[in-house]
Amino acid sequence: TGLSSRLSHGAAVRAMAATSHAEPGLSIGGSEVHGFVGAVGNTPLIRLAKLSDETGCNILAKAEFMSPGGSIKDRAALFLVKDAEAKGQLKPGGTVVEGTAGNTGIGLAHVCRSKGYKCVIYMPDTQSQEKIDLLRMLGADVRPVPAVAFDNPQNYNHQAKRHAESLDNAVWTNQFDNTANREAHIQTTGPEIWRQTNGKIDAFTCATGTGGTLAGTVRYLKEISDGRVKGYLADPPGSVLYKLVETGKLEREGTGSITEGIGQGRLTSNLAPDLDLLDGAVHIPDAESIKMVYRLLDEEGLYVGASSALNVVAAVEVAKRLGKGSTVVTMLCDGAYRYQTRLFSRVWLQSKKLDSAIPERLQKYVVL
């Protein structure tokens, strides 16, 4: 009986593993997956112990830094390429062109390598060198361009569009306004969170770049819970969205931010249809985001970027608003590896007047 109970336990474990990987289109149903694309999604949901204890709530965060391309944008990259293929815009040997702060480009570069497409990436020249280097190592043709506003024809998105139009068998994936992006989160992120919490979730919050993650995930969670799960925007300084959600006015709140990949100057097509689903917004100063980068490292052993840290600060704020016992989920968008020469550099922190935001007990992590 010892052996048969061990075997039946094994079967149960295998059945569980199969269900947890049973995302349609992302796996083949067993425990093995097909290539890079098959490994996207199904990230762990991590309970942040110290912050949960402090708030008397459950602060949960999805480990997108464990995605094979290292960020939350692998999901969108995959859905954008699949969308182009389905619409016949991309045939074998074709070229994907995108404008991106980096992570979508990195996701696309991986997907393109794995599917045999060429990849051209336009990005603002304010982004970290680590992201540019990685894109080049992944075989992408990287074109850093001056960081100008969206209404300027030289903005990286318009340059990407024109480049794609100048080629045959090429597509501008248009992550900001192509809703295949939010669809990735309606079909994968939302269902994963619902399953991983057994439906015991009160709110979801995250920052937005394109808005795909926030809009797609909130839409799914609202629908499946009959509107019970609340959705909150988390916003850095320099974005127009916080004011828009809170007051309905399109007005910039604060100046620039140290966070990369988030904050927005306009209402994208990925966010627009679901803006009214949001229950509120949280505005997080850089000093709090950087402090949380260091706290997560020190208290949880999690090495994450500034947008992830901002999300966690927002999750704590939302949990306080909802009260003790509430469960709030957010996203750990990527690892700190992509920004370490900035986030862990004394000179850089001083240049941003943020060195004093790091408490004394955490100063030992400023090693660069």
Return residues touching ligand PMP (CB under 6 A): 72-73, 101, 103, 207-213, 260-262, 305, 307, 333-334
Q: How far is the CB of 351 from ligand PMP (least distance, A)?
A: 21
User: Measured from the CB atom, is 67 or 208 closer to ligand PMP?
Assistant: 208
Q: How far is the CB of 321 from ligand PMP (least distance, A)?
A: 22
Q: How far is the CB of 260 from ligand PMP (least distance, A)?
A: 6
User: Measured from the CB atom, is 73 or 230 closer to ligand PMP?
Assistant: 73
- Pairing mode, strands 170-172 and 280-283: unpaired
**Residue 59 backbone dihedrals phi, psi, to 5 degrees:** -100, 110
User: Measured from the CB atom, is 314 or 326 closer to ligand PMP?
Assistant: 314
Burial 302-334 (b: 16+ CB within 10 A, else e): bbbbbbbbbbbbbbbbbbeebeeebbbbbbbbb
Active site residues: 73
Q: How far is the CB of 91 from ligand PMP (least distance, A)?
A: 27
Contact of 263 with 207, CB cutoff 8 Å: yes
Q: How far is the CB of 92 from ligand PMP (least distance, A)?
A: 28
Contact of 137 with 113, CB cutoff 8 Å: no
SS3 call for 97: strand
**Hunting for tokens 């320099």 — which residue is that?**
238
Nearest residue by C-beta to ligand PMP?
261
Which ranges constitute the DSSP H helices of the chain?
2-20, 35-38, 49-55, 73-86, 103-115, 129-137, 156-165, 180-184, 190-196, 212-224, 241-247, 286-295, 306-322, 340-343, 346-351
User: Measured from the CB atom, is 94 or 124 closer to ligand PMP?
Assistant: 124
User: Measured from the CB atom, is 209 or 237 closer to ligand PMP?
Assistant: 209
